[in-house]
A and B are shown apart, each in its own frame.
Chain A
Amino acid sequence: MTDTAGRASATGDRRPKALGSGADLRADLRMVGRQLGYEQLAFWRNPIGAVFTVGFSVVFLVLLASSAGHSRSAAIGNLEVVQYYVPGFTAYGVMSACFNLLAITLIIRRETGLLKRLRLSPLPTTAMVAAIFLNAMVISAVQVVLLLAIGRLGYGVHLPSDPGPLVVVLVVGALSFAALGVGVSTFIPNQEAAGPVISIVFFVLLFLSGLWYPLAPGSTLARISAWFPMRHMITATFASFDLRPGVSPWAWRDLGVIAIWGAGGAVVALRRFRWAPVRG
Chain B
Amino acid sequence: MAAVLVEGLSKRYGSTVGVDDVSFEVAQGEVFALLGPNGAGKTTAIEILEGFRSRDRGRVEVLGFDPADRGTLRLLRERMGVVLQELAVEPFLTVREVLARNAGYYPSPKDPDEVLTRVGLVEKARARVKTLSGGQQRRLDLGLGIVGNPELLFLDEPTTGFDPSARRDAWELVRHLTEGGVTVILTTHYMDEAEALADRVAVISQGRIVAQGTPDHLGGRDVGEARIRFRLPEGVDPGMLPVPTAASGGDGLEIRTDHEIGVLRRLTTWSEEEGVPLVGLTVERLTLEDVYLRLTGYRSGEGTPGGDGPSGGHGTGQREGRSGR
Contact = CB atoms under 8 A, between A and B. Distances in A.
Given A6-B149, A7-B108, A275-B52, 15 more contacts: A6-B108, A16-B72, A17-B74, A31-B105, A38-B93, A41-B97, A42-B93, A112-B86, A112-B88, A113-B84, A113-B86, A120-B50, A122-B106, A123-B105, A124-B74
Contact of A3 (B71, B74, B77, B180): B180
Contacts of B72: 16
A10 B104 contact: no
Given A120-B77, A122-B106, A114 B148 contact: no
Contact of A42 (B92, B104, B110): B92
A119 B86 CA distance: 14
B104 A31 contact: yes
B75 A14 contact: yes
A14 B52 CA distance: 22
Nearest to A13: B107
A26 interface: no
Contacts of B149: 3, 6-7
A9 B84 contact: no
Given A17-B75, A114-B90, A45 B84 contact: no
Contacts of A14: 75, 78, 107
A158 interface: no
Contacts of B106: 121-122
A34 B103 CA distance: 12
Contact of A120 (B52, B85, B90, B93): B52
A148 to B, nearest CB: 28
A38 B180 contact: no
Contacts of B109: 6
Nearest to B74: A122
B87 interface: yes
Interface residues of A, number: 34
A-B complex: 6 closest residue pairs judged by Cβ atoms = A113-B86, A113-B88, A10-B108, A6-B108, A45-B92, A122-B77
A116 interface: yes
B105 A121 contact: yes
B82 interface: yes
A16 B108 contact: no
8 contacts: A17-B74, A34-B101, A35-B101, A38-B97, A112-B88, A117-B84, A117-B144, A121-B105
Given A45-B92, A114-B90, A121 B108 contact: no
A277 interface: yes
**B: contact size bracket:** 35 or more
A1 interface: yes
Nearest to B104: A34
A121 B102 contact: yes
A120 B52 CA distance: 7
Contacts of A113: 84-88
A75 to B, nearest CB: 41
A122 B92 contact: no
B59 to A, nearest CB: 21
A2 interface: yes
Nearest to A1: B180
A250 to B, nearest CB: 40
Contacts of B144: 117
A67 interface: no
A42 B88 contact: no
Interface string A7-28: 1011000101110000000000
A121 B148 contact: yes
Interface in B130-158: 144, 148-149, 151
A161 interface: no
A46 interface: yes
Interface in A39-83: 41-43, 45-46
B284 interface: no
Contacts of A34: 101, 104
B151 A7 contact: yes
A277 B109 CA distance: 28
B85 A18 contact: no
Nearest to B110: A3
Interface in A111-147: 112-114, 116-117, 119-124
A145 B151 CA distance: 48
B84 to A, nearest CB: 5
Nearest to A37: B101
Interface in B53-109: 71-72, 74-75, 77-78, 82, 84-93, 97, 101-102, 104-109
